[in-house]
Amino acid sequence: MLDDFLIRSLLAGALMVLVAAPMGCLMVWQRLAFLADTLGHASVLGVALGLMMSLHPMVGVLIVILVIMLIVSQSMGGKPVAMSESVLAIISHTGLAAGILLLSLTGAANISLEAILFGDLLATSMSDLGFIALTVFILLFLLWQHWTSFVAVSVSPEIAQAEGIPVQKVQFILYLMIALLIAVMMKVMGVLLIGAMLVIPVNAARVFSRGPEQMMVISLFFGLMSLLSGMFMSWQYDLQTGPAIVVMAAVWLLLSLFIKKLNKTLT
């Protein structure tokens, strides 16, 4: 019989994987993979600012992420794929360092830096689960509404613009979705592991997929396998849950690459 906290953790993880699969695909297709790490690191600054302004930490995270997305979109000059890695690296490291300094100045004894960095999936409460479920429902609804436009912009912004798709509006919606996703996933996975779970299953799926929808479904499969195997390893060997999930995601990626290479050798 599974304990209640373990069931809540599994449900929370499954919900996050459900939305991370399509969102991760869009981010990889649009060369925004490094953006997840940048926003994750800068989320520490959001937590600190939220505490200093007597706001919920998630509100501070959303504010910081939206400001960063505005800065990034301006630096890209309206070109969705022309991402400046230098700008992202500067924001990432500055946000993380400033957040750690501000947290130490606030003297918030009840805030664990380790929980922010690595997450605390096993501590998911019923209120956390309800909020995650609501957020995932909103993100999945937006994905369903705009999926064709998202894919078109990912393939070619110029062609999408020529076909009458409002590229800047579509990109803005995607940025808002990414901001909400990062803010919510921070509670589950931690800021240092968010990017890994968005990118690693997608790259494992790329080995076997032949189209956007197929890649999304296979990415969901690898994400769920990473979640289940990571939680099993964490439970069996008393390991940190978040890092265990990401390590198992990397194992599945390596296994998929090995299978691909073996298949080429045999054929």
Residues 123-170 pLDDT 10s: 888 888 898 899 999 999 999 999 999 999 988 888 888 889 998 889
pLDDT value at 217 more than 70: yes
The pLDDT value recorded for residue 6 is: 85
Give yes or no for residue 48 having a pLDDT over 90.
Answer: no
Share of the chain above pLDDT 70, in %: 91
| pLDDT computed for residue 5 by the predictor | 80
Q: Which class does domain 4-192 fall in?
A: mainly alpha
Helix spans in the chain (H): 4-29, 33-52, 57-75, 85-106, 113-118, 126-155, 157-162, 167-189, 194-206, 212-237, 241-266
% of the chain with per-residue pLDDT over 90: 30
State pTM to two decimals. Answer: 0.87
What are the structural domain ranges in the chain? 4-192
* 157 vs 79: which has the higher pLDDT: 157
Q: How far is the CA of 9 from the CAs of 19, 94, 111, 118, 146, in angstroms? A: 16, 32, 20, 15, 30
